[in-house]
Structure 1
Amino acid sequence: MVASFARHYLSRNPVAVATAVLVLTAAAATGSLWNDEGALVWGAGPLATFASGRWWTLLTALVVPDSTVDAVSSVVLALTVLAYAERLLGSRRTAVVLGAVGFSGLLLGIGFHAAAWALTDLRPVVAAEVPVLDPTTPIAGAVMAASALAPTLWRRRVRLVGFAFLALFALYAGDADSWYRLTAAVIGLIVGAVLARGRERRSWHRSSARETRTLLAMLVAVVGSGPIVALISGGGRGPLSLVVDAYTQYDDELLAQCGSVAASVCDEQVALLMTRGAGPALLAIVPLVLLLVAAWGLRQGRRAAWVVAVFVLVASAVLPIVSLLDGRLRIDPWVDGSGAEYVLWALASIVIPLALATALMVARARFTVRATTKAARTVALVVGTAFVVCATTLFVVESIGRRVFDREVSVADLVLLTLRRFLPPAFTHPGGSPAFPHSGPALFAYQWVGVLFWAIVVAAILWLYRRIQRPDVDGDDLYRELLRRGSDTLGFLGTWEGNRHWYSADRSCAVAYRLVGDVALAVADPLAPAGRRPEALREFTDFCVDQGWIPAFYSVHADTLADLVDLGWRSVPVGVETVMDLPGLTFAGKSWQKVRQPLTRAEREGYTAVGSRWSELSVSQASQVVAIDEEWVADRALPEMGFTLGSLDELRDREVRLLLAVGPDDRIEAVTSWMPSWTDGEISGWTLDFMRRRTDGPNGMMEFLIAKAALQLQEEGAMVLSLSGAPLADDPDEPADGDPAPLRALLRWLAEVLEPAYGFASLFRFKGKFRPRYRPLALAYRDPLQLPGIGAAVGRAYLPDASRREMVALARTAWEGRR
C-alpha cells in the first residue's frame, strides 16, 4: 500500500520530489542540516554576492537551507504546495519556473536590499546583511505562478493566504529572506498571468458578503499576528515591527518611577525582572490574541467578533496618540535621519489600526450573525463573575503579602495595582505610581491573575460564536404547496421534522435544509419554476453565507448537480436512487422471475396487500406496526438512522400512504410507506420510504408489497415508482472508477465497513430485482476544506441521538463484519 502510493506520488510529482532530495542533500553536504554557521558562505546578498565576487551564491542560496528548521520546512513545502503547483503547471514547466523565478526573485531582491541600505533614512529599519540561504524563495515563486492555472476557489485562496503570510513576515520580521521570498512571489504572479493568457475561466459564484468577511478577517489576523512574529524574531526589523514596543511585557510606568522618584528603593533591573516572565508576556499580547480571536469570528460573520475587533483596533490606535499628546512619548522625527522610521512607526501604530477599524465599520452590515440573548447574558455573567473573583483574589493575596512589595503600599495603592494587572502594560498609562511585589504568592498572583481572566474572556467569546440566533422556522404549508406544483421523487423528504425551509423573495422557490452545527444540509433538489433553479441555488447559498453557515446539497440529482457545477461547486457520489417506470409494466418474462415467484406464492397462501394511511389504522393494526418496528430496531442493538431514512414518525404524515402485508389470520407481516411526488398539481409518482417486516415471518413479503404497490399505482395513473436511494452505493450502469478521489475511496471503504451494521449494499442488490432505472445521487459542496465539517454534519444528521453504548455497538458490528 505504502510502496504503491510512493510510486504513484513520484510519477506525478518528480520535480517536487527532486527538489526535496536536492535540499536535503545540499543541507547535509554544507552542514546547515546541523545548524553549522559555516554554511553561510553559500548564502547570497549585496555584499556576499557582488562585493565579495561570489556570484555562484545566486544559485546555491536557492537550494541550501540555513538551518535544520529551514531544511524541514523546505522539504515539507516542496512535497505539498510545490507538488500541487507541479500538477497545475506540468513537470517541465515547473522545473523551468522554479529555477527562473527563484533566480530572478533573488537577484531583484538583492538589488532592492542594496538600494534601501543606500538611503540613510531607511537604515534603522533595513537589516544589516546576513547572507541569505532559503530554498522556499523559488517555491514561493513557482506556487504563485501556478495559482494562475488553478480553479477559481484555489486561485483566490493560494494568493490571499500566500501573500498575507509573505507580507506578514516581510513587514514585521523584516529579514532579507522574507523580502526575497515576497519578491519572487510577485514575479511568479506576473509569470502566471502570462502562462494563463487565453485560458478560459469558469465563472464561480461567491457571495460578496463572504469575500468581504474573508478579506477583512485576513487583514485583522495579519495585524494581530504581525507583532507576535516581530516579538518571536527578537523584535523584528521590518518596516512595521516598530509597533512591537506597544506590546513589551515590562511596565514602562514602573520603570520610569524606578529611574526617578523611587530610585532609592527600586533598581531598574529588579523592576525588569519582576515584570518579565511568561505571565507578563502573555498579558502584554492580549490585544493581539483578541484580534486573532476576532478574525476567526469575522470570517463567519459574527457580530460579537466585529465588536471585539473594532474596540481593540481603536484602542490600539488611540493609545499612541494619547502618549504623544500628554508628553509620555517624545519623538523628534528629523533628528539623526529618523524621519522614515517615524513615518513607519506612525503607519504601523496609528494609521493601519484606524484604517482597518474604519473599514470594519463601513462593512458592518456584513457581520449580522448575532448570538442569542440568553448566550449574551451568560457570557456577560461569566466575564463579570470572573473579573470580580480574580480581582478579589488578587487584592486579598497582595494585601496579605504587603511585606514583599518594593515599598509601603496603602489600600488605594492595592486597588490601583489590582486594576492595572488586568490590562496590558501599554494600556495602563496614566496609572499613578505603581508598586510591585518581589517574591512569593504575591508575585505569582501579580503575574498570572490577569492572564487567567483574559483566558476566561477568550473562551467565553469562542463559546459565544457557537450560540447564534436561528432564523424563524417557517411552517411547511407553503413548502407543501410548492411540492404540489411540481417536485422530484425525493422532494417530500423536505417536509420531515427537523428540516427548515428557505424561500425566495417572491415565495416561489424553496429549499429544505437541516442545520447541523454551522452546516446547512439542503435535502434533495430545490423546488423552483422552470428556469429558476440556478437562481434559487445562488440565493440559498447567499442566505447561508449571511448566516455564517456552510451550505451543502445532499442527495441531489444530475440536473441540479449540473447547475451547481456551473456555479463552481464540486461533488462526490453518495448513493443511487432506483426508479421503476410504471407505464407498460408487467411482471412477465424470465427476467421478472425473482419478483413474480414471491408475488404469486404470497397470493396463493392468502396474503393480501392492504392500503391505508396511519390515521385509518385500527388500534390493533397500529400496535402491530409499532411492534414490528421495535423488533427491527431491537434486533440490531444499533442506533436507528434518520435524516433521509424514515421512521415511525414519518408514517403519521397525512399524505403518506401505507401498504401492509396481511396474512389470513389478520396478522401484519410487513409494512411499507410511500411518499407522493407531483407534476403540474397532480400526483405522478410515489417513493418508497419505510420498510419493515417481522423477523419470524415468511420470506418474500417485501417483494410482494413492492410488486403489488407498482401494479396498484399503475392502475391509478402514476408514472414512476421510486424505491428511494441506496446510501453509499455505486451506479451499476457506470464503469467502476479505477482511481477514485480520496473522498470517494473513503466512502467506498465506509460502505464496506457499515454493511454488517446497516446492510446498504444488500438493500441495493434487493432493489435491483425490480429492474429499475438508476439515478445517481450526489453531495455538492463549494470548498474541499469544508468537507470534514460537512461529513461530520451528515453523520450527526443520520445519528443525532446515538448514545455512547450504541456507537460502541456500531463499531463492534462493523469490526466483526470486516473480519
Structure 2
Amino acid sequence: MSETATAAPGARTPSRLRAVGPYLRRYLARNPVAVSAAVIVIAAAAATGSLWNDGGALVWGAGPLATFASGRWWTVLTALVVPDSAVDAAASVLLALTVLAYGERLLGARRTALLLAVTGLAGLLLGIGLHAVAWTVTDLRPVVAAEVPVLDPTTPIAGAVMAASAFATTLWRRRLRLVGFALLALFALYAGDADSWYRLTAAAIGLAVGAVLARGRERRSWHRSSTRESRTLLALLVAVVGSGPIVALVSGGGRGPLSLVVDAYTQYDDEVLAQCGTVAASVCDEQVALLMTRGAGPALLAITPLVLLLVAAWGLRQGRRAAWVVAVFVLVASAVLPLVSLADGRLRIDPWVDGSGAEYVLWAIASVVIPLVLAAALVIARARFSVRATPKAAKAVAVVLTGAFLACATTLFAVEAIGKRAFDREVSFFDLLSVTLRRFLPPAFTHPGGSTAFPHSGPALFAYQWIGVLFWIIVVASILWLYRRVQRPDAGDDGRYRDLLRRGSDTLGFLGTWSGNRHWYSEDGECAVAYRLSGDVALAVADPLAPAGRRPEALRGFTDYCVEHGWIPAFYSVHADTLRDLVDLGWRHVPVGVETVMDLPGLTFAGKAWQKVRQPLTRAEREGYTAVWSRWHELTVSQASQVVAIDEEWVADRALPEMGFTLGSLDELRDRDVRLLLAVGPDERIEAVTSWMPSWTDGEITGWTLDFMRRRTDGPNGMMEFLIAKAALQLQEEGATLLSLSGAPLADDPEEAVEGDPAPLRALLRWLAEVLEPAYGFASLFRFKGKFRPRYRPLALAYRDPLQLPGIGAAVGRAYLPDASRREMVALARTAWEGRR
C-alpha cells in the first residue's frame, strides 16, 4: 500500500500549506512593484492614523487650497500613498495586488514604477488645476464641490493600468479600457467628489502615455466584438446608467454633473409636498415626514426604475430578449418623463438665469439624452438579444403578474377603504382608486391633477407604503425566473433530424443541426434537407439525408417545396455524388470549397513525409502537454472560462465580423454530441481547443469532422498539429475510419481545372475569397491542412437558373456574414486591398 493511501486525512493540509510558499515566492518575483505599492499604502495608513480614524489624515491631502493656497507642496506626493480611510486602504491594496499586478506583467517592473509616479503626479496636478478653474466659472458652481483635500492611492494605479492596457491582447485591452473608464466615469459623473475626477484624469493621461509607448505595434482603430462581447458591453452601459443615480443617492445626493437626475428617483411625492403651502407647517412637516419622506418602502418604490435597469443589464449579458424589452421601456420612459413634466408645467426652466443655465443643460443630458441614446443603441443591436423565453413561461409570467397586480390592488383598496379615518381628509371612491393606482408607480412617474389624499397612520399607512413595493418584488422575481426558461429549438424537429443523421450521414451532415437552419422532410419522414433561408433564397446545407437510391427523390421534393413557397433553391457545399444527381436533374454548379479528409485505417506518422506533423507532436509531449478529450457540459468552470477567453481573443483580434453558416463558433460547442480536444500545459493552462462533429454509418459513429479551431495568441507553436495528430491516433483506436479536417470555404482545389464557370457568380465568390483571406486566412489554413496528407473532396454550389445567380451570391455573403454592417463591408474591401499590397 502506498504512503498516500496510509496517510491520515489531515495530512493534506500541511502539504497544501507548503504549496502556498512557492506560489507566494513566484508572485513576489513577478510583481515586486505591485506588492511594494500595497505595502506602502498600508504603512502610510498606519503612520498617519487613517486606518482607525477616518478623515484624520486630511492634512496630508492635496487640493487647490491645501496644496497651493496653503503652500503644502508635498501633499501632491503624500496624497498618492495615504488613504483617507480603512475602506480606501483595503480597496487600494486589493487593486494593487490584482489589476496593478496584471499591468506590471505587461509593462515590466521598471516602467510600472515609473508610470505609477508619472501618471499619478500628472493626474493629480491636472485635476487640481481643472478643479480650480471650474470653481471660477459661476455656472458650474452648483456641480463643483467645495474643496475637501484628496487622499487617494488608487489615482496612480488607474493611470498605470490604463497605460499598461496598450500592451494587453486585443480582448483584454478593450475590457480594461471600457470597464475601467465606465467605472471611473460612473463615480465622477454621479458622485462627483474630487477624488473621482482626479482618478479619471490620471487614467486619461495613462491612456495617452500607453499609446505613445506602444507606438509601432500593430494596432487597429476598431476591433470586432463577438455577439457575446457586444452583449456584455451594452449590459455594462445599462448597469452604469442604472447604478449611477444609486451611487449619487448613497453619496448624499451626489455632486457630479449627472447627479441632477437623482431628483427623479427620490421618495418625495411632489403633489403631497405642494399641499404644504395650504396646511399648517407643523402638520405638513409631521405628515410628510411620516408618510412620504421616511421609511424603506417609499425609498424602494422610488428607485424601482433603477432596479429594473440593473435586472435588465443582467439579462442583456445573457442575450435575453425579455431584458432588452425591459431596458428599452425603462430607458424611454425615464427620458420621456422629464419632457412630459415640461409640457404640463410641473417643471419650469429659465435657462441662464442666476447662473443656473449650465445646471439645466447638465440635467437635460443626464435625464433625457443619455437614456435615449442608450435606448437607440439597444434598438440598433436588437439582433444580439435573440434568446427568447418559452411561450409557456411567458404566459405563466403574464398570468402571475396580472394576478399579483389584481391581488395587491384589491388588498390596498380594501385596507384603505376600511381605514378611511386614517386619511387627512374625506375620501371618495375615486380618491381611493386614484391612490391605489398611484402606489404602483414611483412618484416621478405619476402626474395627477390637483392634490391627492394619503393616510397618516395604522394599517392603511403600512399598505400605502409597502403594497407597491411587494408588487415590484414579484415583477423582478418573475423576470429573473423568465431568464432561466430559454426557448430552445423544437426538440421534436431537431430530434427527428438527428435520428436520420444517426442512420447514416456524410462528413458535413452535422452542420444541419446548427441554429439558424430549418429542415424539410419527405412525406414519409425518411428524407431530410437542412437549409438556411436568406431573403427568398433557400440555401441547403451539405448533402441531403436519404436512404440508398432515394437521394434524387429528396432533391426533387425539396426543390418543389421551395418553388411552392416562392423561394429560390440552391445546394451549398455538396459532394460529388449529390452533385451528379443534381446535374442529371438539369442543375448547374460552381466550386465553392475543398474538403480535406484523412483515412484512418493503417495511419501512422512514421517516415519523412510526416516529419512536419511528427516534430510538433513529439515536442509537445516532451514539454508536458497533454491532449484532453471532453464535452462542453463536462468542462470545469475554469476550463470553460479559458475556452471562452481564447475564443473572445480570437474574435476581438479581427476588425471584421465573426463568420457563420458553415463555420462554427462557441455556441456550437455546447452540443452534447460534439467532442472537444484541449491542449493542456503542465500548469493546467489550456493553450488550444478543437471541436469534432460525428458522422454515422448504419447507426455507428465512423467518422469525425473538425470544426472549431482556436489557440492562444501568446501560446507555443505547433499546438494545432499536436491536437489533430492526437485526435487521429485516438479516434483510430476507437474504430473510426474517417477524419475530416472540414472544408476550406471559397477555396479551389489547386490541382483541379475549372471550366465553364458562370462569370458573375464565379467572380463574386473569387472576390469574396480574396476579401476574406487577409482577415481569416482560408488559403493558409488550407495549406496547413495539407501537412496531414489528406485526400481532397471538392465542394460545389448547385443552382438551377443563371438568372438567379445574383440573388444566390448575395445570400451566400449574408449567410457567412449575417451581422456585417455597411461600415464593415467597407472594412472588408479595405482589408482585401491591403492584403494584395
Map of 1:136 onto structure 2: 154
Map of 2:319 onto structure 1: 301
Map of 2:288 onto structure 1: 271
Map of 2:732 onto structure 1: 722
Map of 2:699 onto structure 1: 655
In 1, Cα distance between the equivalents of 2:165 and 2:146? 33
Map 1:752-771 onto structure 2 (within 5 A): none
Map of 1:677 onto structure 2: 703
Map of 2:395 onto structure 1: 377
In 1, Cα distance between the equivalents of 2:54 and 2:385? 51
Map of 2:506 onto structure 1: 484
**Aligned partners of 2:397 and 2:482 also within 8 Å:** yes
Q: Helix, strand or coil: the match of 1:444?
A: helix
Map 1:302-701 onto structure 2 (within 5 A): 302-430=320-448, 432-472=450-490, 474=494, 475-476=497-498, 484-485=506-507, 507-508=541-542, 538-539=659-660, 554-556=675-677, 571=686, 654-656=698-700, 675-677=701-703
1:229 to 247, 269, 284: 247
Map of 1:239 onto structure 2: 257
In 2, Cα distance between the equivalents of 1:322 and 1:204? 39
**Aligned partners of 1:103 and 1:138 also within 8 Å:** yes
In 2, Cα distance between the equivalents of 1:323 and 1:536? 43
Map of 2:203 onto structure 1: 185
1:390-422 deviations in Å (ceiling 9; x for gaps): 111212222222222222322222211111111
With normalisation by structure 2, the TM-score equals: 0.62
In 2, Cα distance between the equivalents of 1:720 and 1:280? 65
In 2, Cα distance between the equivalents of 1:194 and 1:300? 36
Change (3 A) 1:29 1:422: same
In 2, Cα distance between the equivalents of 1:266 and 1:63? 52
- C-alpha RMSD over aligned residues: 4.3
In 2, Cα distance between the equivalents of 1:551 and 1:536? 27
Deviation at 1:547, TM superposition (A): 10
**Aligned partners of 2:143 and 2:359 also within 8 Å:** yes
Q: Which amino acid aligns with 2:416?
A: E
Deviation at 1:94, TM superposition (A): 0.9
Map 1:88-127 onto structure 2 (within 5 A): 88-127=106-145
In 2, Cα distance between the equivalents of 1:155 and 1:42? 34
Map of 2:720 onto structure 1: none
In 2, Cα distance between the equivalents of 1:62 and 1:541? 54
In 2, Cα distance between the equivalents of 1:68 and 1:502? 63
Q: Which amino acid aligns with 1:98?
A: L
Deviation at 1:141, TM superposition (A): 0.8
2:181 is equivalent to residue 163 of structure 1: yes
Q: Helix, strand or coil: the match of 2:333?
A: helix
Q: Helix, strand or coil: the match of 1:148?
A: helix
Q: Helix, strand or coil: the match of 1:32?
A: coil
1:243-266 deviations in Å (ceiling 9; x for gaps): 101100121111112333x44894
Q: Helix, strand or coil: the match of 1:556?
A: strand
Q: Which amino acid aligns with 2:686?
A: S
In 1, Cα distance between the equivalents of 2:126 and 2:275? 49
In 2, Cα distance between the equivalents of 1:2 and 1:506? 57
Q: Helix, strand or coil: the match of 1:337?
A: coil
Q: Which amino acid aligns with 2:541?
A: R
1:463-492 deviations in Å (ceiling 9; x for gaps): 1122222234541378569953489xxx99
Change (3 A) 1:212 1:89: same
In 2, Cα distance between the equivalents of 1:269 and 1:517? 62
Map of 2:738 onto structure 1: none
Higher mean alpha-carbon deviation, 57-66 vs 425-434, is at 425-434
**Aligned partners of 2:678 and 2:688 also within 8 Å:** no
Q: Which amino acid aligns with 1:387?
A: F
In 2, Cα distance between the equivalents of 1:126 and 1:376? 47
Q: Helix, strand or coil: the match of 2:90?
A: helix
**Aligned partners of 1:368 and 1:547 also within 8 Å:** no
Q: Which amino acid aligns with 1:677?
A: G
Map of 2:62 onto structure 1: 44
**Aligned partners of 1:301 and 1:546 also within 8 Å:** no
Change (3 A) 1:724 1:445: farther
Map of 1:13 onto structure 2: 31
1:496-533 deviations in Å (ceiling 9; x for gaps): xxxx999886524799x988699999xx9xxxxxxxxx
In 2, Cα distance between the equivalents of 1:722 and 1:204? 44
Q: Helix, strand or coil: the match of 1:476?
A: helix
Q: Is there any run of 5+ residues in structure 2 with no aligned partner, and where?
A: 1-18, 520-528, 533-538, 543-572, 575-594, 596-629, 644-653, 707-727, 736-837
Q: Which amino acid aligns with 2:498?
A: D
**Aligned partners of 2:51 and 2:89 also within 8 Å:** yes
**Aligned partners of 1:290 and 1:312 also within 8 Å:** yes
Change (3 A) 1:544 1:426: farther
Change (3 A) 1:515 1:10: closer
In 2, Cα distance between the equivalents of 1:203 and 1:481? 50
1:665-699 deviations in Å (ceiling 9; x for gaps): xxxxxxxxxx423899xxxxxxxxxxxxxxxxxxx
1:756-809 deviations in Å (ceiling 9; x for gaps): xxxxxxxxxxxxxxxxxxxxxxxxxxxxxxxxxxxxxxxxxxxxxxxxxxxxxx
In 2, Cα distance between the equivalents of 1:517 and 1:432? 63
1:351-397 deviations in Å (ceiling 9; x for gaps): 22122222222333332222221111111011111111111121222
**Aligned partners of 2:83 and 2:89 also within 8 Å:** yes
**Aligned partners of 2:423 and 2:454 also within 8 Å:** yes
Change (3 A) 1:36 1:371: closer
Q: Helix, strand or coil: the match of 1:63?
A: coil
Q: Which amino acid aligns with 1:273?
A: L
Map of 1:57 onto structure 2: 75
Q: Which amino acid aligns with 2:37?
A: T
Change (3 A) 1:209 1:143: same
In 1, Cα distance between the equivalents of 2:691 and 2:452? 73
Q: Is there any run of 5+ residues in structure 1 with no aligned partner, and where?
A: 525-533, 563-569, 578-642, 645-649, 657-674, 681-717, 726-819
Deviation at 1:207, TM superposition (A): 4.7
**Aligned partners of 1:225 and 1:288 also within 8 Å:** yes
**Aligned partners of 1:301 and 1:547 also within 8 Å:** no
In 1, Cα distance between the equivalents of 2:228 and 2:689? 27
Q: Helix, strand or coil: the match of 1:370?
A: coil
Query: How many residue pairs get matched?
Result: 570
**Aligned partners of 1:126 and 1:237 also within 8 Å:** yes
**Aligned partners of 2:632 and 2:671 also within 8 Å:** no
In 2, Cα distance between the equivalents of 1:264 and 1:320? 29
Deviation at 1:4, TM superposition (A): 2.8
Higher mean alpha-carbon deviation, 436-445 vs 159-168, is at 436-445
Map 1:729-748 onto structure 2 (within 5 A): none
1:46-70 deviations in Å (ceiling 9; x for gaps): 1111111111111000000011111
Q: Which amino acid aligns with 1:571?
A: I
In 2, Cα distance between the equivalents of 1:203 and 1:482? 48
**Aligned partners of 1:101 and 1:142 also within 8 Å:** yes
Change (3 A) 1:463 1:267: same
Q: Which amino acid aligns with 1:476?
A: R
Change (3 A) 1:182 1:542: farther
